[in-house]
Amino acid sequence: MKPPIRWSLIQMSSDQTMQNILPVLALSPDRVIQIVSGRIQKSAPKGPDAVQSALAGSGFNPEFGDVRMSPHHPTHTDVFQAIHQAVEEERAAGRTPVINVTGGSKLMSIGAFAAAAKTESPAVYVDTPQMRFVLAYDGPPEIHSALGPLMDFNAAMRGLTLELIAIAHGARLGHAEDWQVMLPLSESIRDSFDGWQQCAKDFDRLLRAQASPGKRFPPYPEDVEGWMRLWTLPFSLPSLVGTEAVRTGHVIHDGSHFRLSPGWMLPQLTELLARKPAPVRGKPTPEQRLIWDAFEKEANLLTLRVQAFLNLLFGGSWLEVLTAESLKRQSDILDVRWSVPEFNIKGNPATEHDVLALWHGRLVRVSCKLGGAGDKLPAACSEAAHAARRLGGILSIGVLGVGPGLSYKRRQSLLERAQRDRILVVEAVDLPRNDWFRPGL
């Protein structure tokens, strides 16, 4: 009985990191050798380490080796020589090399293919738009017959996770919120939409009365003391919404009005305010700066929790929750997440995603807009499409969720723009359905 083949993968490090990751997931090689040009070495965060970082913890942990080339744009001869040598070294180590000819420039691909032909090594091309692997050079028959069944694009896609996809594109995802906790409140807002709209406008006026002159929307407070004053504001809610808001524990009813519950977040803000550092006169010392930075970071974390709830109660986040719930019911959707923070590779906050999910290994990103300013919705299509592709690459699926009350004219304009930007549009009225998510149709 022949021993199992020990594969190695030789590939050119690329800006499109999924072209480097998918063959690893398909082949499960013992070793991956990356041919890295001078340009890619400087392309952080999508540098040569992106593939290894993305695969960490995924269950695919091959040994990595880099061949770092000094030319900014290597010629086909440079690549041919580097891959030829790598093939010889891999065979000497008892491994069977496969060459991925996809990444890099056209000249680099020519050099990679020439090396495959010269060394009689199988070569694979990753045709990402068509979602397939193409065996560009067969190699010896016995190797080709063993390799063919492994190069299953759909099977490789099933190895992807949201974290892996994000890291591959230079981002990291933070902790998502539990959308199911806020589902009853969100459903009550949908069912009382007209009355809720008026209450939301009234609360906006209350906030603006508290805001500093000239402060732009949303007029949230700028310091801890300002946030604490929100607990003194009475506000109105439709009966059904008020009942569900009280059930969250974040709101109380005093007999005539609703208010934020003094038992929710106010004790933490009060305790934090008691530890507020003394004002600094003149230029702060490094120690004073550290103390103030720590205070402001803690204050930001606490006030963001308050802001997130107010965005649901009086903003559009309830539509995000309903969209997350509906998306979970769609066919073959996995890992639905709501309110997902994104951090850059250095760990600094970058943005937040309304809803993320997986569909057959493809990242699904949903951006929700209530649609009050309907004339801005076509532009929101382009923004949603760009954000999805930035985080998930060309295989990502962008979705724009739109609130109730869209006019026929604006709907038609929106759908035309969505088709041009290649994203899906789902209106609030369609969310109860189980068949609206149909990518490519």
For residue 209, pLDDT beyond 90: no
Give the pLDDT score at 215.
61
For residue 441, pLDDT beyond 50: no
Domains of the chain, start order: 7-159 (3.40.50.10770), 188-316 (no CATH), 318-430 (3.40.1350.10)
For residue 48, pLDDT beyond 70: no
Give the pLDDT score at 279.
86
440 vs 373 pLDDT, higher one: 440
For residue 341, pLDDT beyond 70: yes
Convert the pLDDT of each residue in 175-196 to its tens digit: 999 999 999 999 999 999 999 9
Convert the pLDDT of each residue in 92-116 to its tens digit: 999 999 999 997 788 888 999 999 9
Give the pLDDT score at 36.
83
Asked if residue 399 lies in contact with residue 431, where contact means CB atoms within 8 angstroms, the answer is no
- Distance, CA of 98 to CA of 104 (rounded, Å): 17
440 vs 314 pLDDT, higher one: 314
Convert the pLDDT of each residue in 273-299 to its tens digit: 999 988 888 888 889 899 998 998 899
- Distance, CA of 244 to CA of 262 (rounded, Å): 17
Give the pLDDT score at 216.
57
Amino acid at 362: R
Convert the pLDDT of each residue in 120-148 to its tens digit: 999 999 998 889 999 988 888 888 889 98
Give the pLDDT score at 57.
67
Look over the chain and give the mean of its residue pLDDT values, rounded to a whole number: 89
202 vs 73 pLDDT, higher one: 202
pLDDT, mean of residues 354-367? 96
